[in-house]
Amino acid sequence: MEEKAITKGLNGNQLKLIAIIAMTLDHLIWVIFPGYRTEWWIVGCHILGRLTAPTMWFFIAEGYHYTKNVKKYIIRLFGFALVSHFAYNFCFGIPFIPFQTTIFNQTSVMWSLAWAVVGLAILDHPKLKDWMKRVLIILIDVIAFCSDWSCIAVMAILTIASNRGNFKKQMQGMMFWTLIYALVYFFFIDKVYGIVQLFVCISIPFLKAYNGQRGSWKGMKWLFYIYYPVSLVLCGIIRLLLHGDVGVLIGS
């Protein structure tokens, strides 16, 4: 009975696969139908794409909890962020050199994810005083501001990790930071797509179904590290073939 109870729900590999599918759909729609289109089915596809970011945030926090070597985890994420920068910017027609167009969306979300783990390490550092930790987290937020999902990804991950074991508080915190992101998007980028950001809430039932198990296949972590930049490059090629060298979202 106990073994069956453990295996109910969704394991980490299954949740990551759902996130990968949602991400691929979201990216394909962006490059095939550029701009902030409002046809119901295009908006619907982007809503499904909101499954991806919170799943990534959740498992970055889980990864930090379970990692045996935080330094290696951080180095791996920053290496991934570097590769993903070029793939992400190529995908959406954003200049490789930041801040030529705007302060928004100048690199991939991986930049924020990597800095979020640095933030978690800072919060857990026994020799740092609380005021030092607050100052350093603010500095990290400034550094991460220019990426996809901005510093909101950092704060969402810190909130999820700090409330590990209390799913309700994790999700309340995640939605609080998402609301701030949605408001910025609504007033400064696009009103419809500002509202779309709030649909990260559709990830909550999936994350609630997480059974705490990684899944039998150990290669999922490396699959994502490979799939993410490769899929972005392929989407970038589609963008070039369909529209030429034009940007398809904010930051381009």
Per-residue pLDDT of the chain (252 residues; tens, 9 = 90+): 344 445 689 999 999 999 999 999 999 999 999 999 999 999 999 999 999 999 999 999 999 999 999 999 999 999 999 999 999 999 999 999 999 999 999 999 999 999 999 999 999 999 999 999 999 999 999 999 999 999 999 999 999 999 999 999 999 999 999 999 999 999 999 999 999 999 999 999 999 999 999 998 988 888 988 999 999 999 999 999 999 999 999 888
Residue with tokens 């070597």: 69
- The CA-atom distances, in angstroms, between 16 and each of 116, 212, 236 are 19, 13, 23
Contact 110, 104 (CB under 8 A): no
In three-state secondary structure terms, 170 is helix
In three-state secondary structure terms, 129 is coil
User: What's the predicted TM-score (pTM) here?
Assistant: 0.94
Tokens representing 218?
């150990």
Spacing of C-alpha 23 from chain mean position: 10
In three-state secondary structure terms, 126 is coil
Note the pLDDT of residue 6. 53
Dihedrals phi, psi of 147, to nearest 5 degrees: -90, 170
Note the pLDDT of residue 5. 47
Nearest 5 degrees, angle CA 91-CA 186-CA 34? Answer: 30
**CA nearest to 148, candidates 174, 122, 114:** 114
**CA nearest to 65, candidates 121, 130, 133:** 121
Count the Cβ atoms, other than its own, within 10 Å of residue 115. Answer: 25
Partners of 147 in beta bridges: 107
**CA nearest to 82, candidates 114, 40, 34, 121:** 114
Contact 6, 213 (CB under 8 A): yes
Contact 203, 54 (CB under 8 A): yes
